[in-house]
Amino acid sequence: MSTPFGIIGCGRMAQALVVPLIERELLLPENIFAVVGSEASVQKSLEKLPKGIKIVSRNDSSSKLVWDASIQLLAVKPQQLNEVAQKANDALNQQSENQSLLISLLAGVNLKRLQEAFPYHKCVRAVPNTPALIAAGLTGISWGEGISSDQKNYVKELFSPISDVFELEESQLDSFLALTSSGPAYVALIIEALSDGAVAAGLSRHLANSLAQKMLQGSALLLEKKGLHPGELKDMVASPGGTTITALRHLEKAGVRSALIEAVIAAAERSREMI
């Protein structure tokens, strides 16, 4: 793609998105212009990204040129929204007849707020999750007003190298975020707890961590490949009077199932509160 591409904030997720696109020649380095927070961040980003990308700090006089790109990826912290929007609107100042496309990765910032902050843009809200860093992610996308079918295809093509892409109503994005974006933390906590249990039962820490991770990977693949409902897998493993049903009884008594349900609901509600 020869389309000029601007990046505002070049953290891990932005890098995870851009690098595979360059490797697949879907983006050309010389067409990418990025703005980061400081000179130190410029050097760090230059070390991690392919050669040819132009990267400057937000205090550089040329940083306003990022708004000349026809596509911009907004990947700053949500609390920086107003500052970035002011710079964008000062740079554009109603000069452009054709609205640029702004793809926002900002958690908790809805399309209405984005459109108010960036009136000279067409806005898209994207919610990727951390496994996108290893091209195993999930990304939810909601479209603002006036997005053409070509633009939608372009955005989906941007995220498809690193994730499965789901087009959702914006009202569903908070639930999507609560499950997929917060979910890796839930899984990490579960793996840590299972590993602790195995250590307490006599395994070494290294072996316990490795086994817990591999068990989770294998179980997820089994569910996917066989098309099983989670309850079916549970019943396959739990024999009458055996070790598994005894363990499951302890989990039910401790309220683990309810705690996980409430965790997802709480994360979704918190995401709505941040808007």
pLDDT confidence of residue 94:
53
Q: Which residues of the chain have pLDDT under 70?
A: 1-2, 93-98, 275
**Do residues 92 and 124 both lie within one domain?**
yes
Residue 91: its pLDDT value, please? 81
> Which residue from 90, 93, 63 is spatially nearest to 76, judged by alpha carbons?
63
- Tokens for 85, please give them: 């929007």
* 92 and 190 housed in the same domain: no
Is 177 part of a structural domain of the chain?
no
In a domain, 253, yes or no: yes
The verdict on residue 250 lying in a domain is: yes
Single pTM value for the model: 0.90
Record the tokens describing residue 144, joined without a space: 């603002």
Q: How many CA atoms lie within 13 A of 174 on its CB side?
A: 17
Q: How far apart are CA 81 and CA 180, in angstroms?
A: 23
Number of alpha helices (DSSP H) and beta strands (DSSP E) in the chain: 11, 8
Residue 224 belongs to domain with CATH number: 1.10.3730.10
31 and 147 share one domain: yes
Give first-to-last CA distance, the chain, whole Å: 34
Residue 192 and residue 157 share a domain? no
Domain end position, chosen among 169, 195, 228: 169
Give yes or no: residues 33 and 157 share one domain. Answer: yes
The domain boundary, picked from 146, 169, 192, lies at: 169
Tell me the DSSP string of 257-272.
HHHHHHHHHHHHHHHH
Shared-domain flag, residues 134 and 204: no
Longest CA–CA span in the chain (Å) reads: 74
Residue-number span of the structural domain to which 263 is assigned:
183-273
Q: For 3-37, how does the pLDDT look when each residue is reduced to its tens digit (9 = 90+)?
A: 789 999 998 889 988 888 888 888 899 999 999 98
DSSP letter, residue 166: E
Question: 169, 192, 218 — which closes off a domain?
Answer: 169
178 within a domain of the structure (yes/no): no
Distances (CA, A) of 183 to 164, 186, 251: 16, 5, 19
Q: What is the pLDDT of residue 3?
A: 79
Looking at the 3D structure of the chain, how many domains does it have? 2
Are 203 and 97 members of one domain? Answer: no
For residues 145 and 11, membership in a common domain is answered with yes
Token pair recorded at residue 74: 């907004």
Helix (H, G, I), strand (E, B) or coil at 175: helix
CATH for 90: 3.40.50.720
H helices of 99-229, in order, are 111-117, 149-159, 170-176, 183-200, 205-226
- Same domain membership, residue 150 and residue 106: yes
- DSSP label at residue 141: E
Residues 109 and 47 in one domain: yes
Task: Name the DSSP class of 10.
Answer: -
- Residues 47 and 155 grouped into a single domain: yes
Asked whether residue 174 is domain-assigned, the answer is no
